[in-house]
Amino acid sequence: MGEPYVGARTPRREDARLLTGRGRYVGAVRLPGTVHAYVVRSPIAHGRLLGCDAKAAWAVEGVLDVITPGDAPDLRLPCVHLSPGQRLQSYRVLDDAIRYAGQPLALVVARTPEAARDAAELVDLSLDELPAVVGTERAMRDGAPLLYPEWGTNVLTDFTMGDEDCAAFVEGAAHVVELTFTMGRVSPYPMEPRGVVASYDDDELTVHISSQAPHQAREHLAEAFGLSHDRVRVISRDTGGGFGGKEHVYPDEALICLASMRLGRPVSWSESPGDRLVATLPARAAVHRARLALDGDGRFVAMYVDLVGDLGAHPSNVGASTFAVTATLLPGPYRFDRVAVRVRGVVTNTTPTGSYRGFGQPEGSLTRERLIDEAARRLGIDRVELRLRNMLGPGELPYTNRVYQRYDSGDYPHALRTLRDLVAPVEKADGRRRGIGYSCHVETTGMGPSKEFRDTGIQAGGYESVFLRMEQDASVVVSSGVVSIGQGIETALAQLAADRVGVPIERVRVVLGDTAATPYSSVGSIASRSLVVGGGALTRAAERLRGKLVALAAHRLEAAPGDLEIADGVVRVKGDPAASLTLRELATSAWRGWDLPDGVEPGLEERVSYDPDAYTFAYGAHAAAVAVDPETGAVEVERYWVVNDAGVLVNPAVVEGQIRGGVVQGIGQALTEEIVYTPEGQPITDYFLPTTREVPDIEVVMLETPSPLTPGGMKGVGESGTIGPPAAIANAVAAALPEIAGRITDVPLTPYSLWSLLAEVAETS
């Protein structure tokens, strides 16, 4: 068969379709009789909807329906991730209690998108506005406006993870570095906006949706509308990016389904550009009050973090779990005697927060790696040497950190030393101040153990299933519940199947994104799990299918299975090519039930479920070289380096692309991206994404330590690139500006924020 497919830089098979305009996106769905919807959103952040007068809207030509809260009083969506003591476990799709600007209050349906929008502007909302509360600090003050008065507080959940005696270890340490970090809200910004085309016909609901988890969407929609699951079909064949923002059903998306059920015809909706910052769930909004304790030799003794996370108006599907993930990964690749994290999730009058690529891990890395750099600066120790002094070695793995995570495999010091050898300073005489910063991380990937889901409050299963079939002509079909969201999973699964079964990759077809044609996947393509868990299931299925082919051939050739091999489209006796059978011959016989060994059933298909025993842990080391203009505070990232280990690399080209794309998103979080609110709860800032001007040359070096857990040895890589940049860039800026190094704690590091810090120092010097 030639060179193996696993490990090859196979061109992405999706690209020919996507780049020639043949992508199967929601916007391309055309159903006969489709009408269009527009969402009416709240202009205020806190209050009550007293009335919704739609008479003027009904007068617009082409209007077919107007849905208000009274039309759907019991329609609710669930919170999938439940934290200890969480007070709210579901929320209304249309609620007359208003808790954030942009909250859906009504839906207008018309024959054209223009008519729906025009009519929506005529819906007269009668509002009783209440004082808003923005920011977790204000929300926790005595006398703050309460979003849910029956709670008596704005704190949804409050729990501690780690060692109970951590504080004592901090107090008794020789050196303590204490800093407070603030991470701004960032927003998923996929190329394809959220969109839905829902069609209700013959008591069956078919939903075309841009989704990372179509099976979860099917489950939640069926439950919300009281439909049996077999009467709901969800299709999400090509999703133009998700980054965590499309892993669940939103209230406005459920409304489109309700509209179709009321009208009995297809209803189409796509999120308008202005709605993204108020409707699509942002993430990252958190404050960490952190203390790092060291002994006299620079050994890490303890770390304590008081984490307060902003949940927005209500817990979304993920609730406070993103903050819990931050807590579990705070120790990173280092040894600590003690670690403890207090986690509080607080509701505020802002858009609910959810998951975003990296899911709590960039925040934890920023806190830990800035503390380490500040400790090195105060103690006069080289930053890299301080890390190496405290870093877990390969002989210590597997290792369970102080917050319950069991790292499986790797060589963390080798990654950092490799990175150090790559880094070279940028030399320019242009008046700017330059610095280089480092960050290291361990990343949780392969989200999956179903038992752990149950034990930690996740209302889902963590396994993946695969249907693998060889047809009579020896072509192969892979059907998986994971989804193509731009990460190259279609190509990677084809490589695995071709390699493990022993057929040319051109003979492999991959079916994804249709709940009627794929096996159940409770959580879909999130959390760097598609190839780890879905690919793990496929690896096992392919091994079984290959074993059956060999067994069939051994029976026909009267040979021992161990003496056979699959190559060049045939099963043959090793060393005797003449003694062989083509795969097509074997497949045809198998499907006809001819010449089968005793006890072997006809056909060539395998259904395998893989439920991981534990998470896998990838890791990486990042470095950034920056130039800072002290006159303006502007930061330029001039070079960037990544050393990453994601286990066995099925397609190195795809992995490199994933890492580079993640780094770009991390640069945005570090320097430019943030949603800011007025005290009244109105988003006020333009949202600045990094462009080609802000993205430097990114050098990527990949290591390869197979995971002992995953069939095939893969670890996840979808989020790896996002985790290191905020910390590495912040450390680089601190190195460039030592006079304010101890105050480089908040991201994004905008020109104004740095200029202000420099101006304060200049005034006092």
Residues 613-645: b if buried by 16+ CB within 10 A, e if exposed: ebbbbbbbbbbbbbbbbbeebbbbbbbbbbbbb
Say what the pTM is.
Answer: 0.97
Q: Report whether pLDDT(403) > 60.
A: yes
Q: Which has the higher per-residue pLDDT, 686 or 564?
A: 564
Cis peptide before 398 (omega within 30 of 0): yes
The pLDDT tens digits for 86-115 are 989 999 999 999 999 999 999 999 999 999
Mean pLDDT confidence for 166-171: 98
Please report the pLDDT score of residue 691 as a whole number.
93
User: Strand locations in 481-542, DSSP E?
Assistant: 508-511
Mean pLDDT confidence for 258-280: 94
The pLDDT tens digits for 555-598 are 999 999 999 999 999 999 999 989 999 999 999 999 999 999 99
DSSP-derived secondary structure for 551-616: HHHHHHHT--GGGEEEETTEEEETTEEEEEEEHHHHHHHHHHT-SPPTTPPSS-EEEEEE--SS-E
**Residue 742, SS3 per DSSP:** helix
Cis peptide before 748 (omega within 30 of 0): yes
Band (430; pLDDT cuts 50, 70, 90) = very high
Q: Which of 298, 438, 322 is nearest to 370 (CA)?
A: 438
Please report the pLDDT score of residue 3 as a whole number.
76
Those residues whose C-beta lies under 8 Å from the C-beta of residue 254, and which sit 6 or more positions away, are: 75, 77, 93, 221, 224
Please report the pLDDT score of residue 284 as a whole number.
95
DSSP tag of 145? P
User: Rounded to the nearest 5°, which phi and psi values hold at 191?
Assistant: -65, -35
Q: How many CB atoms are closer than 10 A to CB 538? A: 33
**Residue 621, SS3 per DSSP:** strand
Residues 476-488: b if buried by 16+ CB within 10 A, e if exposed: bbbbbbbbbbbbb
> CA 739, 744, 747 angle in degrees (round to 5)?
150
Identify residue 222 by its one-letter amino acid code.
A
Whole-number Å distance between alpha carbons of 441 and 439: 7
Q: Where are the alpha helices (DSSP H) in 158-316?
A: 166-171, 214-225, 251-263, 276-279
> Sign of torsion, CA 383 388 389 390?
positive
Q: Report whether pLDDT(172) > 90.
A: yes
DSSP-derived secondary structure for 319-367: TTHHHHHHHHHTTTTB--SEEEEEEEEEE-SSPPP---TTTTHHHHHHH
Q: Which long-range contacts (CB under 8 A, 24 or more apart) does 428-432 make?
A: 428/627, 430/627, 431/629, 432/627, 432/628, 432/629, 432/630, 432/636
| Mean residue pLDDT across the chain | 97
The pLDDT tens digits for 290-299 are 999 999 999 9
Mean pLDDT confidence for 237-256: 96
Mean pLDDT confidence for 391-405: 98
Mean pLDDT confidence for 173-188: 97
- Strands 635-645 and 697-703 come out as parallel
Band (686; pLDDT cuts 50, 70, 90) = confident
The pLDDT tens digits for 300-315 are 999 999 999 999 999 9
Q: Which domains does the chain have, with CATH numbers?
A: 14-21+463-610 (3.30.365.10), 31-130+190-242+246-279 (3.90.1170.50), 286-448+613-764 (3.30.365.10)
Please report the pLDDT score of residue 764 as a whole number.
86
Whole-number Å distance between alpha carbons of 27 and 545: 38
The pLDDT tens digits for 137-166 are 999 999 999 999 999 999 999 999 999 999
> CA 446, 447, 450 angle in degrees (round to 5)?
125
> Sign of torsion, CA 523 524 527 532?
positive
Give the CA dihedral 313, 319, 323, 325, nearest 10 degrees.
-160
User: Rounded to the nearest 5°, which phi and psi values hold at 659?
Assistant: -65, -45
Q: Report whether pLDDT(230) > 80.
A: yes
> Sign of torsion, CA 382 668 325 132?
positive
Q: Are the C-beta atoms of 512 and 237 separated by less than 8 Å?
A: yes
Mean pLDDT confidence for 57-62: 98
Q: Report whether pLDDT(78) > 70.
A: yes
Query: Quick one: residue 502, left, alpha or beta (phi over 0 = left, psi -120 to 50 = alpha)?
Result: left
Q: Which of 341, 404, 335, 338 is nearest to 367 (CA)?
A: 341
In Å, what is the CA distance from 178 to each residue of 303, 304, 564? 10, 9, 64
Q: Which of 364, 355, 357 is nearest to 322 (CA)?
A: 355
Q: Report whether pLDDT(2) > 70.
A: no
Please report the pLDDT score of residue 685 as a whole number.
77
User: Rounded to the nearest 5°, which phi and psi values hold at 462?
Assistant: -105, 10
Q: Report whether pLDDT(761) > 90.
A: yes
Residues 144-155: b if buried by 16+ CB within 10 A, e if exposed: bebbbeeeebbb
Q: Which of 17, 524, 516 is nearest to 242 (CA)?
A: 524
> CA 208, 212, 217 angle in degrees (round to 5)?
55
> CA 726, 192, 277 angle in degrees (round to 5)?
55
Q: Which of 532, 533, 528, 535 is nearest to 500 (CA)?
A: 535
